[in-house]
Structure 1
Amino acid sequence: MARSLVIKATAGTDEPERCNQAFTVAASAAASGVEISLWLTGEAAWLAVPGRAEEFELPEAAPLADLIGTVLAAGRITVCTQCAARRGLTGEDLLDGVRIAGAPAFVEEVTAEGVQALVY
């Protein structure tokens, strides 16, 4: 059975350390062959907009844009439907490969057999 991990990032630039942990764990899992799905909610939704990750700074942390690239190369990034709507974001506003989906898709992913879920 393939290993799968769903991570929900609930913080963005408002809580940089917590935000960076979610992206670091997601990228590390992706790089080690784990099937990864990273969900961006709340302020983390902004980081799916081109150029935003490049503005993110946290001492001693890998560049967020690099972490996003690693996740997208091996997994999926999803922005919460309601979070995108509250910020006026559409699919056209997001990085290539990032989708918008809602709670039913999240529930389907986290309840699938063999999936582990983390929330940051």
Structure 2
Amino acid sequence: MARPLVIKVTAGADAPERCNQAFTVAAAAVASGVPVSLWLTGESSWFSLPGRAEGFSLPHATPLEDLLSVILSAGQVTLCTQCAARRDIGPDDVLPGVRIAGAPTFVEEISSEDVQALVY
């Protein structure tokens, strides 16, 4: 069995290449059968909302909405509790399949045996 990945993305449209890299790695891992948990924090929090990924554009990159769709199909996507609160995002606002959770859940995930954590 593949080692699970927990990927935290802190960048959004403010750092498009770093943001897209996190989503690309997460989607590639999901497509390869690797268990993935993607955490949206900071400016990437906006991509938990309907229509926001469609507004992101990076030349020569797979559209963010396509990558997010792959991740949601077989992985876990989590929006940081504090990041959501700072942006007035509630549970009824996010895309289907996105959960809101905080630091204790993140620590639990990254502390699990054989997990690889990546931060972008």
Which category describes the TM-score, using the shorter chain as reference length? Answer: over 0.9
What is the total number of aligned residue pairs between the two structures? Answer: 120
Question: In 2, Cα distance between the equivalents of 1:60 and 1:94?
Answer: 27
The answer (yes or no) to whether the contact 2:3–2:35 under 8 Å persists in 1 is yes
SS of 2:89's partner is coil
Question: In 1, Cα distance between the equivalents of 2:69 and 2:32?
Answer: 15
Question: In 2, Cα distance between the equivalents of 1:65 and 1:91?
Answer: 20
Q: Which consecutive segments of 4 or more residues in structure 1 shift more than 4 A? A: none
The answer (yes or no) to whether the contact 2:2–2:33 under 8 Å persists in 1 is no
Identity %: 68
Matched, 1:51 2:44: no
Residue segments in structure 2 that go unaligned for 5+ positions in a row: none
Question: In 1, Cα distance between the equivalents of 2:66 and 2:92?
Answer: 21
The answer (yes or no) to whether the contact 2:13–2:43 under 8 Å persists in 1 is yes
Q: CA RMSD in A?
A: 0.7
TM-score, normalising length: structure 1: 0.98
Aligned residue in 1 for 2:39 = 39
Give CA deviations for 1:12-66 in whole Å, capped at 9, x if unaligned.
0111000000000000000000000000000000011000000000000001000
The answer (yes or no) to whether the contact 1:5–1:116 under 8 Å persists in 2 is yes
The answer (yes or no) to whether the contact 1:9–1:22 under 8 Å persists in 2 is yes
